[in-house]
Structure 1
Amino acid sequence: MSRYERKESAVRRLLEGAQPPVPPELCAQAVRRGGRMLRRRTVVRRLLWLVLLAGAVAFAVWASVAQPWAPPPADTTPPLTRW
């Protein structure tokens, strides 16, 4: 008998045996925890969208002020020819 077959037979024995009793408060606890997890995920998702939006606004403001697409000013002045 291989290791896989032993594991399979052990799982079959567990599934075919008597089912353990489920505590009556288990469903209420699961519903409460599930609701809490959903609310937490919703809050985290909204905070991440808010941070993303704030970053986009900050980038737009910086880009409009700094104008990184414009060429940098020349370091030297042009020579004076008309004096």
Structure 2
Amino acid sequence: MKRPEREAAVRQIMERAPAPVPPDLCAEAVRRGERLLRRGRLVRRVLWLLAWAAAVAFGVWAARVHPWTQPPSRTTPLTGW
């Protein structure tokens, strides 16, 4: 398709009557948008709750186990060699 043919096709498309828009399109879009925002807010809250629970669980575990200390030796060191 050459340029003049493309321009004629575009003019023909632009001269047509616009497609009818459903009357409740705006209300439907607002409803869906609000639902997406609520869902996103819920997901963020759940993720923050899980992160907080993981931090508390790690803190409790670290306080009880003391992973930063060296475990006791199971053998006695050799002395006097």
Normalised TM-score (structure 1): 0.72
Given the superposition, is the C-alpha separation of residues 45 and 15 from structure 1 closer, same or farther in structure 2, using an over 3 Å criterion? farther
1:5-59: per-residue Cα shift (whole Å, max 9, x none)? 7xx86xx558734321211111111111110110000000000000001001100
Please give the alpha-carbon distance, in whole angstroms, between the structure 1 residues aligned to 2:43 and 2:36.
10
Aligned length: 74
2:21 aligned with 1:22: yes
**1:31-46 paired onto structure 2 within 5 Å:** 31-46=30-45
State the identity as a percent: 55
Taking only aligned residues, the RMSD between alpha carbons, in angstroms, comes to 2.7
Please give the alpha-carbon distance, in whole angstroms, between the structure 1 residues aligned to 2:34 and 2:52.
27
Partner residue, 1:51: 50
Letter in 1 for 2:34: G
Q: How far off its partner does 1:77 sit?
A: 4.7
Normalised TM-score (structure 2): 0.74
- Runs of 4+ aligned residues of structure 1 deviating over 4 Å after TM superposition are 12-15
